Amino acid sequence: MLKKTNNRVKTRWVEGELRLAGALDRRMIALLNAIDQSGSINQAAKQTGLSYKGAWQIIERANNLAPKVLISTATGGSKGGGTYLTSAGQALLSLFVRLEKQHGQFLQKLNESLADDPEMMLLLKPLAIKTSATNQLFGVITEINAGAVNAEVFVELKGGERLVASQPLAMLDSLGLAVGGDVLLLINAPEISVVNDPEHYNFSARNCMPGKIIRVQHDAVESEIVIQLNGGDNLVATITQASAEALGLSPGISVNAVFKSNAVIIGALTQNDS
């Protein structure tokens, strides 16, 4: 994912596979190249991770798609007989190799141009973050209340909802958290409770976010409840199947996702790669 170029680490934001005429792709070209080197369908199939039958199907497809025969075969023998690329096959292989190099250079230029666009980076960088937490929300810090040990960090989500995260004071400086800063919020699914009648309950949890269930997935013991908040963000909660059935949870029901402020992990989003 990350590539070192000119002493700077760059992320490949734009990726793509070269495909000719909608059908000639890297797998087919890899088989052509292996056949050219080995002269055997059997050996070429092994080199490219294909079955013998799969290799034959690709060969037949390549020959049928091309106006000229690309691969000449003579069946027979334990290794599938003699096989070689025709002059048309050699020309196609050379063309693909040349185009793939140009394609790679084109993608590199696109990625470099994106890296130089601060506004585009602000949009794309959150999408490249991978974590083990089920829930990832993005927002802007609107308020920070510092106490003796911890600080309450209030974050506004893109749909307008506000939630609060409790963080040690030391983390404010460590992460460079400040009002107006963009942050990533991580919440593990088991930390979220699902309540379908919040007016009749008192909560010690600071965050109580209304929404509607859009999906319920049961396994042998647990149930995964996907809640779409009013502003559009989704939260996934994991509760016992017995609890889900007792609450009568199903798609379309209005519920509240409830979780404590210390269940929220904050990640700071920076403007530049380091």
For residue 273, name the pLDDT band (cuts at 50, 70, 90). Answer: very low
| pLDDT, tens only, 188-208 | 889 999 998 766 666 678 899
At 231 the pLDDT is: 85
- Say how many domains are in the chain: 2
Does 249 share its domain with 185?
yes
Question: Per-residue confidence at 171, pLDDT binned at 50, 70, 90?
Answer: confident
Measured CA angle at 78 (ends 49, 80), to 5 deg: 60
pLDDT tens figures, 23-80: 667 788 888 888 888 888 888 888 888 888 888 888 877 777 677 788 887 655 444 4
Domain boundary among 88, 116, 144: 116
Q: Residue 116: what pLDDT?
A: 67
Inside any domain, residue 236: yes
Closest of 257, 128, 140 to residue 188, by C-alpha:
257
Looking at the structure, do residues 89 and 154 belong to the same domain, yes or no?
A: no
Are residues 72 and 142 part of one domain? no
**154 and 95 in one domain?**
no
E strand map for 96-206? 135-146, 150-157, 162-168, 182-187, 193-195
Is 226 inside any structural domain? yes
Helical (H) or strand (E) element with 243: helix 241-247
Residue 213, strand partner residues: 227
In angstroms, the CA 93 to CA 20 distance is 11
Residues 88 and 142 occupy one common structural domain: no
Report the run of H or E that residue 214 belongs to, with start and end. Answer: strand 207-218
Picking from 262, 189, 260, the residue whose alpha carbon sits closest to that of residue 225 is 189
CB 154 within 8 A of CB 264: no
- Cα separation of 83 and 39, whole Å? 5
User: 185: which 2 tokens?
Assistant: 């919020």
Task: Quote the pLDDT of residue 260.
Answer: 92
Q: Are residues 149 and 262 in the same domain?
A: yes
Cα dihedral 168/183/139/259 (nearest 10): -40
Q: Are residues 83 and 187 in the same domain?
A: no
Q: Residue 267: which pLDDT band, with cuts at 50, 70 and 90? A: confident
For residues 59 and 146, membership in a common domain is answered with: no
Task: Show the domain range for 42.
Answer: 2-116
Check whether residue 20 and residue 87 sit in a common domain.
yes
What gap in Å lies between CA 215 and CA 238, rounded to an integer? 12
Residue at 33 is within a domain? yes
Q: Is 231 helix (H, G, I), strand (E, B) or coil?
A: coil
The structure's pTM equals 0.53
Pairing mode, strands 135-146 and 182-187: antiparallel
pLDDT in tens, 75-109: 554 444 578 888 888 888 888 888 888 877 777 77
- What's the start-to-end Cα distance of the chain, in Å? 15
